[in-house]
Amino acid sequence: MSRGEGKTRAGRVAIVGRPNVGKSTLLNALLGEPIAITSPHPQTTRDAVRGVLTVGDTQLVFVDTPGLHEARSRLGHRMNASARDEAREADVLVLVVEPKVDPADLALAAELPKLPTVLVINKIDKIKDKRDLLPMLARFGKAHPFAAIVPCSARRTRGMDGLLEELGPLVPEQPFLFEPDTLSDQPTRFFVAEFVREQILSHTRQEVPHGVAVVVERFDESSKVPRIEIAIHVSRETHKGIVVGAQGRMLKSIGTAARARVEQMLGRQVHLKLWVRATPDWMNDPAKLRDMGYGEREP
Ligand SMILES: Nc1nc2c(ncn2[C@@H]2O[C@H](COP(=O)(O)OP(=O)(O)O)[C@@H](O)[C@H]2O)c(=O)[nH]1
Ligand SMILES: [Mg+2]
């Protein structure tokens, strides 16, 4: 499978869809490694996350995008812009939907760039009688010229091989874009911040998760055990207390769980230091958004 032997195919596959349909779970299921953070909260994914899968002579560069939604904050607008940009730059699209025919999904399909698009009907584990899928397949098939329609359960990693078989022939014949053993082109510090944010999402509730931004302030690899210092920004003073918890217990368990994930990914021990700062309404402040790494795009 080395490059140069025979013909290779390679291309970018953008995973798009509304929030919470399971796009990030699908990326992780396809790669067999949980690189994208997922949660039951909508709008968990803020940046496009790229994962590379090389099988035989085909390389698929998956791009998990933030969900397309009605944005209410500046951050929300940038998330939508980021998803649309990634879709435009892709070779193939995967549109993920819940297992029901929703007019909003069909409207979204009609708006997407004119690229070969595979429809993934995800969460089919929720459907008791699989015969209910047949009319759904027919309705979607009539509504839009999808290259293929694939029922899946990303959470149970069902249907992944069938999906890969549909996607392979849709990417162009060209050399690989990355070394075959690449898993992602994103830097380690990106994943460290994401893994901390994932633990905050799973430890806190209600409005806290949407107001959290995680910034790696220091990543010092000069000693044997790398030292990573992280600022957690919350949008309200009261949220600070929630994230820190009584006697700092909440922050401690967030840190312990995130460190385990980071160490698993890096295959080595790290020191992780977390602190919490209240930065009121950062998600609507262009300068603060830039500082926190949420791009330059205007709504
Ligand atoms: N039942 C079921 N739930 C799923 C499936 N895939 C994802 N989910 C859940 O849907 C929620 C949102 O998933 P996520 O991947 O973060 O969605 P995203 O916003 O589209 O990236 C999470 O709670 C997932 O565990 C699936 O195949 N079946
Ligand atoms: Mg996501």
User: How many residues comprise the chain?
Assistant: 299
Task: Give the ligand with the smallest distance to the CA of 41.
Answer: 1
Domain boundary among 135, 170, 205: 170
Which of ligand 1's atoms lies nearest the C-alpha of 42?
A: 19
Res 40: pLDDT: 83
In this predicted structure, which of 75-89, 126-140, 215-229 has the lowest mean pLDDT? 75-89
Is the minimum distance from the CB of 149 to ligand 1 under 6 angstroms?
Answer: no
Residues 41-76 have pLDDT tens digits of 878 888 788 899 999 999 999 999 988 888 788 888
Q: Which residue has the tokens 């994103």?
A: 186
Q: How far is the CA of 155 from the centre of ligand 1 (A)?
A: 7
Residue % of the chain over a pLDDT of 70: 97
Res 295: pLDDT: 65
Is the minimum distance from the CB of 201 to ligand 1 under 6 angstroms?
Answer: no
Res 188: pLDDT: 85
Nearest-CA residue for ligand 1 atom 19 is 20
Q: Report yes or no on 1 lying in a domain.
A: no
Residue % of the chain over a pLDDT of 90: 59
Task: Give the ligand with the smallest distance to the CA of 94.
Answer: 1
In this predicted structure, which of 27-41, 67-81, 112-126, 277-291 has the lowest mean pLDDT? 67-81
Domain harbouring 74, CATH code: 3.40.50.300
Is the minimum distance from the CB of 45 to ligand 1 under 6 angstroms?
Answer: yes
Nearest Cα to 25, choosing from 17, 35, 12?
A: 35
Q: Residue 3: pLDDT band by 50, 70, 90 thresholds?
A: very low
The residues, ordered by sequence, that sit 6+ positions from 246 with a Cβ below 8 Å of its Cβ are none
In this predicted structure, which of 107-121, 145-159, 279-293 has the lowest mean pLDDT? 279-293
Q: How far is the CA of 50 from the centre of ligand 2 (A)?
A: 12
Is the minimum distance from the CB of 202 to ligand 1 under 6 angstroms?
Answer: no
Res 110: pLDDT: 86
75/66 Cα distance (integer angstroms): 11
Residue 189, class by beta-carbon neighbours within 10 Å (0-12 exposed, 13-18 middle, 19+ buried)?
Answer: middle
Average pLDDT estimate for 161-166: 97
Residue 69, class by beta-carbon neighbours within 10 Å (0-12 exposed, 13-18 middle, 19+ buried)?
Answer: middle
Indicate the number of domains in the chain. Answer: 2
Q: Residue 214: pLDDT band by 50, 70, 90 thresholds?
A: very high
* 1: pLDDT strictly greater than 50: no
Is the minimum distance from the CB of 231 to ligand 1 under 6 angstroms?
Answer: no
Query: By residue range, what is the domain housing residue 231?
Result: 188-291
Alpha helices (H) in 146-272, listed in sequence order? 160-167, 188-203, 237-244, 249-266
Average pLDDT estimate for 128-137: 91
Are 162 and 193 contained in the same domain?
Answer: no
Average pLDDT estimate for 5-25: 91
Nearest Cα to 97, choosing from 59, 124, 135?
A: 124
Cα 205 to the center of its chain, rounded Å: 20
The residues, ordered by sequence, that sit 6+ positions from 32 with a Cβ below 8 Å of its Cβ are none
Nearest-CA residue for ligand 1 atom 2 is 123
Is the minimum distance from the CB of 82 to ligand 1 under 6 angstroms?
Answer: no
Are 16 and 90 contained in the same domain?
Answer: yes
Res 5: pLDDT: 57
Res 96: pLDDT: 96
Task: Give the ligand with the smallest distance to the CA of 68.
Answer: 1
Are 112 and 199 contained in the same domain?
Answer: no
Is the minimum distance from the CB of 157 to ligand 1 under 6 angstroms?
Answer: no
Q: Which residue has the tokens 């820190």?
A: 244
Are 112 and 36 contained in the same domain?
Answer: yes
Given the DSSP bridges, would you call strands 49-55 and 58-64 parallel, antiparallel or unpaired? antiparallel
* 297: pLDDT strictly greater than 50: no
Q: Report yes or no on 262 lying in a domain.
A: yes
Are 18 and 107 contained in the same domain?
Answer: yes
Question: What is the helix (H) or strand (E) element at residue 103, kind and residue range?
Answer: helix 103-111
Domain harbouring 260, CATH code: 3.30.300.20
Are 155 and 248 contained in the same domain?
Answer: no
What are 228's strand-pairing partners? Answer: 219, 272
Q: What is the pTM of this model?
A: 0.85
Mean pLDDT of the chain: 90
145/143 Cα distance (integer angstroms): 7
Q: How far is the CA of 25 from the centre of ligand 1 (A)?
A: 6
